Amino acid sequence: MADTRIQTRVEEDLAEWLTERDLRMHTGSHHIQAKLELGMWRRALAAELRRIRLTLNQANLIASVLSGTVMTAEIVGNAPAVLMEVSDAFHLARETPLPGEKPYGERWSLDEDALLHYLRTLGPTADHALFDAVSRWWKTGAPTTVEGWASVGLTVVPDTPTEHDGA
């Protein structure tokens, strides 16, 4: 059986915050409060991930951009990591393309501006949940399919053919 005990020292302000929340929530101790807060964070990530809706090409493009990018435990103000990475990738592909490289929108048959707009609507928790799902998707080696994304909790719908696809 795995050892499920977790111990750490935290900064004084975090300990005070946990104690203050414990007093208001009547959990019994800041140790129990820390456990509850960790559970709430996990559920918040899962709830935000359930709200995200992407097309298959959008999800696969984001995965392509985030390939090799290390997820951090930081949430820095209004600088969502997924949005920043995708925006930078779009900019670099347009401004300094490699020979023979097409812009992402053209490669993935999607509207880059629409995807960036959608990613801007995600709050920091949703952005982190999406990054986490992509990280888990890469780790598991799931396929680039609707089912592959569902295996990590991300709701992805098939792309609809566009007019130029002959539909």
User: How is 1-19 classified by DSSP, letter by letter?
Assistant: -----------HHHHHHHH
> What pLDDT, on the 0 to 100 scale, is given for residue 166?
42
> What pLDDT, on the 0 to 100 scale, is given for residue 78?
63
**In this structure, are 67 and 140 located in the same domain?**
yes
The total domain count for the chain is: 2
96: tokens are: 């300094």
**In this structure, are 30 and 107 located in the same domain?**
no
**In this structure, are 37 and 70 located in the same domain?**
no
**In this structure, are 61 and 137 located in the same domain?**
yes
With vertex at residue 14, the alpha carbon angle to CA 81 and CA 50, rounded to the nearest 5 degrees, is 40
**In this structure, are 43 and 81 located in the same domain?**
no
| Residue 5: inside a domain | no
What is the domain extent for residue 27?
A: 12-47
d(Cα 86, Cα 117) in Å, to the nearest integer?
11
> What pLDDT, on the 0 to 100 scale, is given for residue 18?
93
> What pLDDT, on the 0 to 100 scale, is given for residue 104?
93
d(Cα 128, Cα 104) in Å, to the nearest integer?
22
Chain centre to alpha carbon of residue 22: 29
Mean pLDDT, 10 residues at a time, over the chain (167 residues)? 89 94 94 94 97 97 92 73 95 86 92 97 94 96 96 94 48
Segment (H or E) for 74: none
**In this structure, are 26 and 78 located in the same domain?**
no
